[in-house]
């Protein structure tokens, strides 16, 4: 789901300046509010985006931001443990949350006439969350089990941790969002409480509501439920990320649960929030990833070296982005043969660039039909410091990318440090 949403964020914007028709206002406590009216159905998506994620985990305490996300469902003095989700469900809604490196978000999809209910629930846990040891211990165990299932028993996830550590070094992007296995047992209720008090404040949050409501209707509700929460009143220090300059590294990893042999190569790349030309990297990924005409498919799948290939650009990040090449090796192919293809590189043709640009700006005319997608797109951009105008100019920026831009992006990647990974099944003794 989230990969699809990310692709929508990258590719889905028709070339018109009034795509969202969003309205914004700021409460007296500093909380930004974004409203997108959509009267197609009597439903709304209500999202709170906090400008914090695992990048803010204290040193040696990886996993704090993610564990706090779990604790947010443990109750307050008003709403008992476990009742948040039950109340939303009883009222016909659905809800969830997610933590990333750069942000944490909570959302509810619900009928318009139940919006005030979820605003009460969400604002209540923004200021009144409970941190009892009886709640903390079992939830920490849940997270440890989650890591066991999703990471320890997933060879690709374990290898991704090793890759990120090599690629980013001391940068927070080098730590897993869920936390390192050896650090999770050291977390305490005091760690979670301190993180909550520092980061879960209205002036560090963005409220996005999309659906059957307009700004004039929402504003008094926002003031009633969120406007009364005191801000942190502390100056927010600008994050200073450590500079990561990885060497060209290869990681070979075997695991008994691995069933497919794979090769990947990941480079640091410019992001949409930094310098450089991120639009050229978006087009480059589309060129390389194109099936069946793309150069990766021509050199790897058509030659029977690989059964699947892909290129992926992640440019929506507070600091640097990343660019990844991936191939699943065919039987009989030595992984070094695929590595050699990556080393040699790919030819970028004008006709492929033009086709890629057209694909990137077409076919998604109904983005704003779905309030949840709209709220996700606008919220993710806003929490990274990008406003809707950046998104609405995206097709224009893509259209302006030239063959020379794409070739320059590829040349820069090829001369940059990168991490190559080999994943293989563990040989039976």
Question: pLDDT tens digits, residue range 279-321?
Answer: 999 999 999 999 888 999 999 999 999 999 999 999 999 999 9
| Fold agreement between 19-225 and 249-425 | yes
Sequence ranges of the domains in the chain = 19-225, 249-425
Chain centroid, CA 319 distance in Å: 13
CA–CA gap between residue 273 and residue 51 (Å, rounded): 14
98: CB partners within 8 A, 6+ apart: 2, 69, 104, 105
Nearest one of 77, 98, 70, 96 to 85, comparing CA atoms: 96
Summarize pLDDT for 37-56 with one digit per residue, the tens.
999 999 999 999 999 999 99
Q: Kindly give the pairing relationship between strand 104-111 and strand 23-26.
A: unpaired
pLDDT of residue 257: 94
Q: Compute the C-alpha angle 131/137/143, nearest 5°.
A: 105
pLDDT of residue 232: 87
Q: Compute the C-alpha angle 83/86/91, nearest 5°.
A: 125
Which of 22, 37, 69, 392 is labelled catalytic?
69
pLDDT of residue 4: 41
Mean pLDDT computed over every residue of the chain: 91
The CATH topology of domain 249-425 is Cytochrome Bc1 Complex; Chain A, domain 1 (3.30.830)
Residues of the chain with pLDDT under 70: 1-18, 233, 235-238, 244-246, 363-367, 428-429
DSSP string, 260-316: S-EEEEEEEE--TTSSS-HHHHHHHHHHHH-TTTSHHIIIIITTTSEEEEEEEEE--
Exposure string over 406-418, b if 16+ CB within 10 A, otherwise e = bbebbebbeeeeb
DSSP structure class, residue 420: E
C-alpha neighbours within 13 Å on the C-beta side of residue 315: 24
CATH number of 19-225: 3.30.830.10
CA–CA gap between residue 5 and residue 335 (Å, rounded): 31
Is residue 404 annotated as part of the catalytic site, yes or no?
A: no
Handedness of CA 334, 336, 340, 341 (dihedral sign): positive
pLDDT of residue 174: 94
pLDDT of residue 369: 74
């Amino acid at each position: 789901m989230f990969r699809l949403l990310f692709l929508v964020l990258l590719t889905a914007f028709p070339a018109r300046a009034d795509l969202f028709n969003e309205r914004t206002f700021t409460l007296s406590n500093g909380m930004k509010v974004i409203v997108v009216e959509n009267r197609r159905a009597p439903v709304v998506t209500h999202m709170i985006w906090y400008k914090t994620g695992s990048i803010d985990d204290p040193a040696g305490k990886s996993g704090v931001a993610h564990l706090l996300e779990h604790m947010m469902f443990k109750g307050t003095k008003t709403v008992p443990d476990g009742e948040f989700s039950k109340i939303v469900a009883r009222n016909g809604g659905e809800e969830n949350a997610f933590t990333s490196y750069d942000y944490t978000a909570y959302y509810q999809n619900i009928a318009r006439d139940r919006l005030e209910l979820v605003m009460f629930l969400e604002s209540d846990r923004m200021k009144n969350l409970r941190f009892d040891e009886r709640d903390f211990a079992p939830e920490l165990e849940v997270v440890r089990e989650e890591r066991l299932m999703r990471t320890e028993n997933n060879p690709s996830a374990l290898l991704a941790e090793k890759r990120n550590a090599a690629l980013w070094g001391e940068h927070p992007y080098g730590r897993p969002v869920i936390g390192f296995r050896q650090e999770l047992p050291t977390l305490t209720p005091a760690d979670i409480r301190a993180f909550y008090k520092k980061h879960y404040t209205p002036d560090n949050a963005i409220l996005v509501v999309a659906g059957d409501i307009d700004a004039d209707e929402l504003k008094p509700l926002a003031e009633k439920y969120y406007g009364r929460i005191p801000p942190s009143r502390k100056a927010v220090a600008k994050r200073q990320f450590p500079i990561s300059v990885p060497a060209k590294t290869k990681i070979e990893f075997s695991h008994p649960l691995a069933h497919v042999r794979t090769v990947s190569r990941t480079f640091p790349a410019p992001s949409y929030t930094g310098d450089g030309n991120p639009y050229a990297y978006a087009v480059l990924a589309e060129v390389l990833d194109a099936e069946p005409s793309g150069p990766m498919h021509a050199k790897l799948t058509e030659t029977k070296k690989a059964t699947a290939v892909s290129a992926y650009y992640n440019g929506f990040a507070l600091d640097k982005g990343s660019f990844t090449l991936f191939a699943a090796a065919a039987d009989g192919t030595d992984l070094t043969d695929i590595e050699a293809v990556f080393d040699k590189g790919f030819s970028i043709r004008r006709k492929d660039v033009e086709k890629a640009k057209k694909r990137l700006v077409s076919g998604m005319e109904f983005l704003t039909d779905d309030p949840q997608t709209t709220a996700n797109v606008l919220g993710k951009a806003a929490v990274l410091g990008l406003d809707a105008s950046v998104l609405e100019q995206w097709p224009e920026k893509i259209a302006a990318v030239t063959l020379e831009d794409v070739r320059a992006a590829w040349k820069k990647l090829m001369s940059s440090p990168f991490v190559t990974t080999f994943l293989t099944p563990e040989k039976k003794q």
